[in-house]
Structure 1
Amino acid sequence: MISIRTKLSLWLSALVIVSTVIGLLVFETMLRHAFHDSIINRLEEDLQQVVHNTHLHEGEISIDQSQLSDFYNPAYSGRYYQLDLPDQVIRSRSLWDRQLNIKTLALGQTRAWQAKGPLNHDMQLLSIGLASESAHIDATLTVAQDLSIGRQVFSEIYGFKLMVNLLLLLAMLTGIFLVLRQSFKPLAHVQQSLNKLREGEISSLDLGKIPPEIKPLADTYNELLDYTSKQIARSRNNLGNLSHGLKTPLAVMQQQVEALGLSDPEKAQALQQQITLIHKMIERKLAAARATGDLLPASQLSVPVDLESLIQTLDKVHQHRHVSCQMDIQPNINRLPIHREDGMELIGNLLDNAYKWAHSQVTVHITEKDHVFSLQIEDDGPGVEDEQLEQLTARGIRLDESVSGHGLGLSIVKDIAEQYEFELIFGNKGPLGGLDITLQMPNKP
């Protein structure tokens, strides 16, 4: 999809270029017509001057060259005349030894055309038919002008005009680029604000620097954010109130079940199973509401800031063991799709377990591929036997009593992972030789 800025640049540039080309073609056409008209006008003046200085004396026709322009004297000067009579041809000195091939015209008939002349130059010619009733003589008078000098002037003028137009075209294209870049600068600010909003640095768009054209859109967006936040808060409050409201009836039912257990253990056990299911369902729905209903960027786990905070805390807790923890985070990853409180508890338990069993080193790798985040925690401890991997997340079960703890950490991790639909993978004997735990976290839109 081509951006609006690119479309405007292309359309405006094309419009300016087409307008410039059309302007040059129109200017060239007008200049050629003006050049041609000026040549014809001059030839008409020359024709009248030669006619005025053409005399008939004793049956002979002559041209008084002393009254004509000096341009007709030098050889091949570029301005010529020629009088074609039935039995002779009178021509200007400038034609020297050349004679024009002229078509005989009747009295008053005129003709304008172009042909090759002296030095093989193009010429513009103008002829008129003359006659003398007293002498019964018909003649054709022709004046001509070399076009090479005029065409040189035409090329110089048009070349200068072309250069000026190209410079103006370049200036206009540069102006279009600068104006569009300046005009779209506020959109860059909007983009930065959206990035900050996504990263959780701000909670709404700043309307102060937004152009009036898109301000209604930004207003609507802020209203939608505010409405969504209120809806999420209202839903979570309702779920919280519901859970608190159910706690008292469930406590009463629990007491009744315990009392029933003395007289009818089987019924008490069946009811206890249902109460336990209700408890788990309530806790699961509350956790799911927090996991999916409040995952705005500001509430997500921030990396590496939150991880560094966890590591610093664990370094102090396990300072007597001298364990070093190193992080390897893929560039451009700054948040994980999990609520900060849940993320701190989940990753904190995983890291605490790694610190307890590591000899000296723990590593944390975070990568992202195809919108799936992968968090991998390894230690250089003794690891776990293959047949014991499935027991790691069992609540209250500890595989080694020599390490302090209650056996609840990894089961809590499993519960949180299930709430978020994360995949928890345990590997035996990782690259460091100890336990290798991988958490796959899909980034749901």
Structure 2
Amino acid sequence: MLSGLLLILVLLPLIGVTVNSAFQHQITQSINNQLRAYVYSVLAVTEVKDDKVVMPNYLLENQFNVIGSGLYALITSNNELVWHSESFFGLDLPATSSTNLALPTPVMGQGSLTQVRFDDLAGNGDNNHVVYSFSVSFETNEKPLAITVHIVKDDADYQKQISEFNTTLWTWLIVLMIVLALVQGVWLFWTLKPLNQFTKELALVDKGQQTRLNQDYPNELNAVAKQLNVLLNTEQQQRQRYRNALADLAHSLKTPLAVLQSQTELSEESKEQATNINNIISYQLNKAKSSANQAWHLGISIDDVASKLIRTLAKIYQDSHVDIDYQAAPKLMFKGEEADLHEMLGNLLDNACKAAKSQVCLSVVQTDSVLSFIIEDDGQGLTEQQRQNIFERGMRADTYHQGHGIGLAIVQDLVKTYQGELVVSQSESYGGAKFTLTFAS
């Protein structure tokens, strides 16, 4: 739209300048032809006797005979005025000095069109006139007499024509520019409307509010929309088959393990190892079920998950009198699985409630490219050494304080799966630990 508007704003003014220049050139040519014709009419009645110019009392063109008519005929020789028409009576010749007239003297046999300014009958010195000068030579008994015929005409009429033409031209060009801009804007808006709708639907799919493109598009976009829908459906079906296969694998592995654990002849060490294998299988299967980047088009409501967790934890820790504050903008979405978000926030909030004295805060902040979850408490906090060791597998909460540490390895793995970042620091607002989860939005 900007490029189209720029084309209108550049092209039409260029056309206007070109047309205006052509019109002024045409006016100049018309003036030149008209005044040259007057020169020929004056030369037709010009005679030279005794080296002097002899002219009739009246000329054929009546404007030369009316004082101040705006059309004047002058004859100069050797830069001196030797004759002028009756219409020139009362006007002063323009001069560059006391002896030199400001009238041109072209080459013999040629004419020139110039512009001069001189005082009129009322003494005004701002009258512009056009002058066509033509030099000729008359044969006399002694030597040729060179004269220059000047036809002077007030250019007010010509300037008025040019001014009216300019006003009309630019008025209609401006109107045309506005009309074309409006027509182009409406046309482009109507033409690009399917693209805008296509973009909006892609955004809804990206936010998880739709699972496919539902609108009807023109032929140019319809093929793309169909292919995208096929891709989305295929991805969903593959993810479902993947989950079903994992569930089948979990079932097929856990059943033999349960049988092994029920054997009485197994030693305690063997039973413990079988239990560890069972836990490892459960953990790895849960980790593999995480959709992460495969579910780029899915999205879940953060408020729904966080609200449920807070209500549950409030009941669990009601005897501890821990207050959980929740701060988040409405309608924020997390691109991933609900179970993954539930596990990450659940572990961190549960640890915060165990470590807190009376206050826990969950804040969710959304920027243009980053989604952040901030969990803070007013507990004892963590030392620098504890922050480095807290995500090690097998690290137990009671090694440093009640809380923080249970399930944090799982949280760390899930965060890495979603290509996010988990940072542990000291809370400036509450004084305890501060866990910050950040994901690309």
Superposed CA offset, 1:151-189 (max 9, x none): 522541354133443454455445555554554444443
| Secondary structure at the counterpart of residue 74 of structure 1 | coil
**Residue matched to 1:373:** 372
* Equivalent residues in 2 for 1:1-400, closer than 5 Å: 8-9=1-2, 11-50=3-42, 61-65=54-58, 67-75=60-68, 77-82=69-74, 89-96=82-89, 109-114=109-114, 116=116, 118-119=118-119, 121-127=128-134, 129=136, 142-146=149-153, 148-160=155-167, 161-173=169-181, 176-177=184-185, 179-181=187-189, 183-208=191-216, 210=217, 212-254=219-261, 258-261=264-267, 269=269, 275-276=274-275, 278-292=277-291, 296=295, 302-315=301-314, 324-329=323-328, 331=329, 334-336=332-334, 339-348=337-346, 351=349, 361-367=359-365, 371=370, 373-378=372-377
- TM superposition shift of 1:118: 4.3
Question: In 2 relative to 1, CA 335–375 (structure 1 residues): closer, same or farther, beyond 3 Å?
Answer: farther
State how far apart, in whole Å, the 1-side matches of 2:140 and 2:154 are.
36
TM-score w.r.t. length of structure 1: 0.70
Greater displacement, 243-252 / 172-181: 172-181
State how far apart, in whole Å, the 2-side matches of 1:385 and 1:28 are.
81
- Give the AA of the match of 1:190: F
- TM superposition shift of 1:290: 1.5
State how far apart, in whole Å, the 2-side matches of 1:350 and 1:88 are.
109
| Secondary structure at the counterpart of residue 211 of structure 2 | coil
Superposed CA offset, 1:290-317 (max 9, x none): 2245863786553222222333344456
Greater displacement, 168-177 / 230-239: 168-177
> Which blocks of at least 5 consecutive residues in structure 1 are unaligned?
1-7, 400-406
Question: In 2 relative to 1, CA 413–147 (structure 1 residues): closer, same or farther, beyond 3 Å?
Answer: farther
- Give the AA of the match of 1:65: Y
Superposed CA offset, 1:385-416 (max 9, x none): 989998999999896xxxxxxx9x97763363
- Give the AA of the match of 2:345: I
Greater displacement, 348-357 / 148-157: 348-357
State how far apart, in whole Å, the 1-side matches of 2:106 and 2:195 are.
77
Matched positions, count? 411
- Give the AA of the match of 2:230: E
| Secondary structure at the counterpart of residue 407 of structure 2 | helix
Question: In 2 relative to 1, CA 236–102 (structure 1 residues): closer, same or farther, beyond 3 Å?
Answer: closer
Question: In 2 relative to 1, CA 12–88 (structure 1 residues): closer, same or farther, beyond 3 Å?
Answer: closer
Greater displacement, 383-392 / 86-95: 383-392
Superposed CA offset, 1:17-50 (max 9, x none): 3322321332132112211221123224434544
**Residue matched to 1:3:** none
| Secondary structure at the counterpart of residue 214 of structure 1 | helix
Q: Work out whether residues 378 and 430 of structure 1, in 8 Å CA contact, stay in contact via their aligned partners in 2.
A: no
Q: Work out whether residues 301 and 331 of structure 2, in 8 Å CA contact, stay in contact via their aligned partners in 1.
A: no
State how far apart, in whole Å, the 2-side matches of 1:117 and 1:416 are.
96
- TM superposition shift of 1:376: 0.8
Superposed CA offset, 1:193-235 (max 9, x none): 2332233221122233x45543433333222222221222222
**Residue matched to 1:414:** 408
> Which blocks of at least 5 consecutive residues in structure 2 are unaligned?
94-100, 120-124
Greater displacement, 189-198 / 25-34: 189-198
- Give the AA of the match of 2:408: K
Alpha-carbon RMSD across the aligned residues, in angstroms, is: 5.0
Question: In 2 relative to 1, CA 219–28 (structure 1 residues): closer, same or farther, beyond 3 Å?
Answer: same
Q: Work out whether residues 291 and 420 of structure 1, in 8 Å CA contact, stay in contact via their aligned partners in 2.
A: yes
Q: Greater helix share, 1 or 2?
A: 1
- TM superposition shift of 1:237: 1.8
Superposed CA offset, 1:58-88 (max 9, x none): x99542516431354214x431224569999
TM-score w.r.t. length of structure 2: 0.70
